[in-house]
Structure 1
Amino acid sequence: MSMTPELLLHAYRSGIFPMAETRDDPDIFWVDPRWRGIFPLDGFHISRSLARRLRRDDYEVTLNRAFERVIDGCADRDETWINAEIRALYTELHRDGQAHSIEVWMEGDLVGGVYGVVIGSAFCGESMFSTRTDASKIALAWLVDLLRRAGFTLFDTQFVTPHLASLGGIEISRTAYRTLLAEALERRADLAATPLAASGQEVVQRSTQTS
């Protein structure tokens, strides 16, 4: 069976997601981790140093301005699971309004970002990249702020890296994840209809109020 955007969305609703072994491998396989990474939306950790960085506001954050460039940034590493078919599928989902990206710009250059898929009130984060210190952390902080205000109930990170754990990412069992996913699929949340924060200071203040 050939991969389609519809099949991809069905997989996400079932709790699984695709990967390729390498960028040059044409085959895609499904992943269903025993332990799933998530960001509790009320538990994103902004350290004092990150709060200072966010408040500097010497950067610009945008939504869906450069989706394909964000994917390319995420794939621009020695080893990646993003092959040409995965790139094409997520780009099509983006055109259909099902996949979104947050971009971080400094001095006119794209320096970081994150992208993922929306199903119900779940945001399924796919990957992120950074070419400047803290750019991916800035992207995540602004994304979590946006998800909270847009009515999302689940932020799926697939796995938990030490980087994500330092920001509040946790692991839950496959069964617990499926329960949260089922609840999220019962609700709708619109990422693109919610404005981004006006400043990094706003992001920090709201994070302090909800944590």
Structure 2
Amino acid sequence: MATLKLHIKNMVCARCNRVVSEELEKLGYKVLHVTLGEAEISSVVNDFDVARIREVLVASGFELLDDRKTQLIEQVKLVIIELVHRQGEADRHINISDFLSERLGMEYSYISSLFSSHEGVTIEKYLILQRIERVKELLVYNELSLKEIAYQLGYSSVAHLSNQFKKVTGLTPSYFKEIKDKKRKTIDQVQEE
């Protein structure tokens, strides 16, 4: 039986995976595998089927990606989001260029150039924006101190985290904590403003 791998934009969490899987099953496709940014179905698909899949995904807030460059950019975003949200001891001081090159099997200079030209922001800046959104999330949950958050996300110090936070948001972490989630964005909305 033939299989088709779909590359999907805006799949950033487990709930997204579930929604995509459910929508594809409603259309009558057998879903073999769903991960962030991808779904694999076992079916012969024609242009009409692709249009139907695209329509259903768009209605659910997703986008079916067609070209390889767009797929690569989406993969970069997903790897960075995954890295920021899972950061453990081994991830604290990871070299993002080496990590992306290894993970995607491509030269970092190509990945970086493509990402910057398509997104209008460097990979490093995108990583910083994702880390700041994660800091916001952890501040809102109010379970960790700023020192613990800095350590968990690999900042060299609380001062470094605070300076970067203020540079990106215009607020100090403590002031942000006071106003809570009024300034939060979903992770797929994080961009240079």
User: Would you say same fold, with TM above 0.5?
Assistant: no
Query: Larger strand proportion, structure 1 or 2?
Result: 1
TM, length-normalised to structure 2: 0.25
Relative contact order (C-alpha < 8 Å, sep 6+): which is higher?
1
Query: Larger helix proportion, structure 1 or 2?
Result: 2
